[in-house]
Amino acid sequence: MINFDALQTALGMVFALDTILWMIVGIAVGVGVGAMPGLQSSTAVALMLPLTFNMEVAPALGLLIGLYKGSVYGGSISAISFATPGAPEAAATVADGYKLMQRGKGKKALHMALYASVTADFLSDLITIFLAPALALVALKFGPSERAWVLILAITLIGALSGRRLAKGMFSAALGLYIGTMGSDPIGLVPRNTFGLWWMRDGVPLPPLVIGIFAMSMVLQELMKPAVVAVARDKASKLADVLLSKSEGLKLREYLSCWKEMMIGLGVGSFVGVLPGLGATVGAFLSYAVAKQVSPHKGIGNGALEGVAAAEAGNNATVGPTLVPLIAFGIPGSATAALLGGALILQGVTPSPRMFDLFPHIIYALFIILLLGNIANLAVGRAFASVYARIGEIPRAYLVPLIGAMAVLGTYAYQQNPYHIFIMLACGLIGLMFRYLSIPAAPLVITFMVAPLAEANLRKAVLISGGDWFHTLFNSPLSIGLAVACVMSVLAAIRFKMNENAMITDRDDE
Amino acid sequence: MTNRQGAYCLLLFMVPILIYVFSSDWAFVPMRDGVLIGAFTMMYLGFCVIFILAMIAGPGANELLEDIGEINTPGLVKIVLFLLGAVAVTFWHEAYGFVMLCSLFLAAVSWFAGQTSPVGILIYSLIVSTALYLLFSLLGFDLSIAPGLKVEFL
């Protein structure tokens, strides 16, 4: 049922000048960040998170969701222009996008990327709006035992979906769980795992952790590089010339001819977005692969607009659905969703199915911002594409110190506690180690948020059942079903890994 | 360096944490619900070790880690200086002024990052530190330009 009072409040919150302005700022910065090779949406959201500490909830959501949407689309600009994806999720766009660029159809490719991104993003947001409340209704029927199993299932899925990097993904998840136990235990509030430091008694706060893992690690890695690498100025200028020229843009007929690929992107991206730990990169590649299989005659991979449409629809369609597990179960679907969850917690709103009862106006505001963000993304992307094309010219020598200073100031801005800088820098060093050892950072952030919830629910369930662990864990058919799902996901991961190893061995033998 | 060697490095990273937790006086204290305070901490650390061992023994253990070759001594020195600068800005900005201290920090980092023109470094660091000051002050954070010098925003 729609709560019309809450809807009216939400409309007032979203259509306020500051919310609209911060959303536009978020998208403008997000597209720029996405267009800049090396910077990702999670880095941008982590860096901008401190700006939201003193904001109202709607402008904060506008800024962060704008950043997220903008940066996922923005990656296509450098992917098409220089064959250098601005972010991993745009890598699937390179094959067709860059070939179109070389054939002088760069403007068409860039417009197709924008329209496919916005179309799939908008439709996937509608799916989110219908799916999240339905799942939240189911989640509300869960007791502590079922909630604990759902959280365990999310953790096993993160591992199962890590693909080739199963052990690394699971190590990252386990380390996130360990860091999540720092501070005090969630039931008795007894200090533990504080390394004897008084300022660790409140545990590791989310902002220093994410700023360290995503932004600081990037700065430290850039400082390690002996030479500063920048995109060649002539290439960027050439791209700007293409965009400013009167060459033919995308025709409506061409856009409509890619409907099948956009729908594939929508379906695959939405499905991938809902699963915890996968994210936009998998959405883009999977959608691209399915589109190639379904339409072999369209020449996807050889410079086809359909390839650009499939990849871009696939990555942007994950943006909305990644919030579904966050809202319905309190489990972030991706690192960026974890950051959005963190922003909500900082605003005093804990993401959970109870949000629909306690803060319906914020849920509505979130949904409206998701939809409205697409219009802003379209407008900003269309009007300023030529400006973003020049972003590759910004020397790293200017960018790295700015990100470093923002990370330091942003960490301090959260609670003005100078000791948090130590946490942020330690997380930065862990992030740097992850970068060099090719360990994914997203599982760490997701499980870090899930760890206290899982422990609290499990121990509450044990207390309710009078200390009987077996009865705690398997007290209902749903608990047993979820436990089976956990075992299945682990077995599927192991089976997948074994098959993959067998294939590699066969190939080596040949 | 291969994945296996990287996993050994991770194991080395985990050793002090394992020693700290397993030798602590809190980890084995039972709570009211019968669970040890450190039960979950120790379990998660156990998972960490298991997955490191999986990396060591796993099929991709001999794969090369490409980026690790870029680690070099001057880079490590820059990182240490950066970390010290970040701590100095955080702890001393009230005493010496945010804009003053942040400008120095930015100048040093932009030099580390490859900017060589002194005038460029000066202009860049002053503009960025002032912009950050204005942005965060407008958002309601208490920062100063120099010791005792602040601009009040409505």
Q: Are residues B153 and B85 in the same domain?
A: yes
- Considering only CB atoms, which chain A residues are within 8 Å of B88? none
Q: In this predicted structure, what is the pLDDT of residue A364?
A: 94
| Among candidate residues B70, B87, B104, the one where a domain is terminated | B70
What ipTM is given for this predicted complex? 0.94
Contact assessment for residue B42 and residue A158, using Cβ atoms and an 8 Å cutoff: no
- Give the chain B residue whose CA is nearest to the CA of A179: B41
Helices within A83-182 (DSSP H only): 91-102, 106-140, 144-160, 166-180
Q: What does the domain layout of chain A look like in residue ranges?
A: 4-509
Helices A305-316 + A280-294 axis angle, to 10: 140
- Between chains, do A400 and B109 touch, taking CB under 8 Å as contact? yes
Tell me if chain B has a CB within 8 Å of the CB of A196.
no
Q: In this predicted structure, what is the pLDDT of residue A240?
A: 58
Q: Which of B72, B90, B113 sits opposite A401 (nearest CB)?
A: B113
- Considering only CB atoms, which chain A residues are within 8 Å of B144? none
Q: Are residues B99 and B132 in the same domain?
A: yes
CA distance B96 to chain A (A): 15
| Among candidate residues B70, B100, B125, the one where a domain is terminated | B70
| Res. A123: pLDDT tops 60 | yes
Q: In this predicted structure, what is the pLDDT of residue A230?
A: 46
Contact assessment for residue A362 and residue B67, using Cβ atoms and an 8 Å cutoff: no
The residue type found at A320 is G
Q: In this predicted structure, what is the pLDDT of residue A231?
A: 45
Tell me if chain B has a CB within 8 Å of the CB of A188.
yes
Q: Which of B2, B12, B82, B117 to mutate to test the interface with A (most CBs of A within 10 A)?
A: B82
- Between chains, do B26 and A192 touch, taking CB under 8 Å as contact? yes
Q: Are residues B83 and B55 in the same domain?
A: no
Q: Which of B59, B115, B128 sits opposite A504 (nearest CB)?
A: B59
Contact assessment for residue B83 and residue A426, using Cβ atoms and an 8 Å cutoff: no
Tell me if chain B has a CB within 8 Å of the CB of A220.
yes
| Res. B18: pLDDT tops 50 | yes
- Considering only CB atoms, which chain A residues are within 8 Å of B52? 167, 171
Tell me if chain B has a CB within 8 Å of the CB of A228.
yes
3-state SS, A424-481, equals HHHHHHHHHHHHHCCCCCHHHHHHHHHHHHHHHHHHHHHHHCCCCHHHHHCCCHHHHH
Q: What is the mean pLDDT of chain A?
A: 84
Q: Which of B26, B55, B112 sits opposite A171 (nearest CB)?
A: B55
B130-149 residues touching A, CB cutoff 8 A? 132, 135-136, 139-142
| Res. A46: pLDDT tops 50 | yes
Question: HSE-up of A134 (CA within 13 Å, CB side)?
Answer: 5
Please give the C-alpha separations between residue A99 and each of A301, A307, A434, in angstroms, as whole numbers: 9, 11, 33
Considering its fold, how many domains does chain B have in total?
Answer: 2
Q: Which of A390-394, A395-399, B75-79 has maximum average pLDDT?
A: B75-79
Tell me if chain A has a CB within 8 Å of the CB of B25.
no
Tell me if chain B has a CB within 8 Å of the CB of A501.
yes
Contact assessment for residue A201 and residue A184, using Cβ atoms and an 8 Å cutoff: yes
Q: Which residue has the tokens 């917690």?
A: A345
- Between chains, do A228 and B114 touch, taking CB under 8 Å as contact? yes
| Res. A375: pLDDT tops 50 | yes
Q: In this predicted structure, what is the pLDDT of residue A229?
A: 46
d(CA A161, CA B67): 24
Tell me if chain A has a CB within 8 Å of the CB of B16.
no
- Between chains, do B68 and A178 touch, taking CB under 8 Å as contact? no
> What's the token pair of residue A483?
């436990």
Total beta-carbon pairs less than 8 A apart between chain A and chain B: 188
| Res. A138: pLDDT tops 70 | yes
% of chain B exceeding 70 in pLDDT: 98
Q: Are residues B54 and B24 in the same domain?
A: yes
CA distance A437 to chain B (A): 6
- Between chains, do B51 and A174 touch, taking CB under 8 Å as contact? yes
pLDDT in tens, A48-96: 888 888 889 999 999 999 999 998 888 888 778 777 676 777 888 888 8
Q: Taking the model in full, what pTM does it have?
A: 0.81
- Considering only CB atoms, which chain B residues are within 8 Å of A168? 51, 55
Q: Are residues B94 and B48 in the same domain?
A: no
How far is C-alpha B150 from the geometric centre of its chain's CA atoms? 29
pLDDT in tens, A140-163: 888 888 888 888 888 887 766 666
CA distance A79 to chain B (A): 21
pLDDT in tens, B90-146: 999 888 889 999 999 999 999 998 888 899 999 999 999 999 888 888 777 788 888
3-state SS, A33-76, equals HHHCCCCCHHHHHHHHHHHHCCCCHHHHHHHHHHHHHHHHHHHH
Q: In this predicted structure, what is the pLDDT of residue B42?
A: 95
Contact assessment for residue A90 and residue A78, using Cβ atoms and an 8 Å cutoff: yes
pLDDT in tens, A431-469: 999 999 989 888 888 889 888 888 888 888 888 877 777
Q: In this predicted structure, what is the pLDDT of residue A469?
A: 79
Q: Are residues B63 and B78 in the same domain?
A: no
A38-77 residues touching B, CB cutoff 8 A? 51, 53-55
Q: Are residues B78 and B65 in the same domain?
A: no
Q: Are residues B45 and B88 in the same domain?
A: no
Q: In this predicted structure, what is the pLDDT of residue A232?
A: 46
Contact assessment for residue A118 and residue A380, using Cβ atoms and an 8 Å cutoff: no
Q: What is the mean pLDDT of chain B?
A: 89
pLDDT in tens, A270-321: 988 888 766 787 788 888 888 888 888 888 888 888 999 999 999 899 988 9
- Considering only CB atoms, which chain B residues are within 8 Å of A171? 10, 48, 51-52, 55
Report the DSSP pairing between strands A191-192 and A183-184.
antiparallel
Q: Are residues B66 and B86 in the same domain?
A: no
Q: Are residues B65 and B91 in the same domain?
A: no
| Res. A235: pLDDT tops 70 | no
Q: Are residues B66 and B2 in the same domain?
A: yes
> Domain containing B75: what range?
71-154
B53-112 residues touching A, CB cutoff 8 A? 54-55, 58-60, 65, 67-68, 70-72, 74-76, 78-79, 82-83, 86-87, 89-91, 93, 102, 105-106, 109-110, 112
Q: Which of B125, B128, B136 to mutate to test the interface with A (most CBs of A within 10 A)?
A: B136
- A38: confidence class by pLDDT, cuts 50, 70, 90: low
In this structure, what are the phi and psi dihedrals at residue A374, rounded to the nearest 5 degrees? Answer: -70, -40
Tell me if chain B has a CB within 8 Å of the CB of A397.
yes
Q: In this predicted structure, what is the pLDDT of residue A374?
A: 93
Q: Are residues B115 and B152 in the same domain?
A: yes
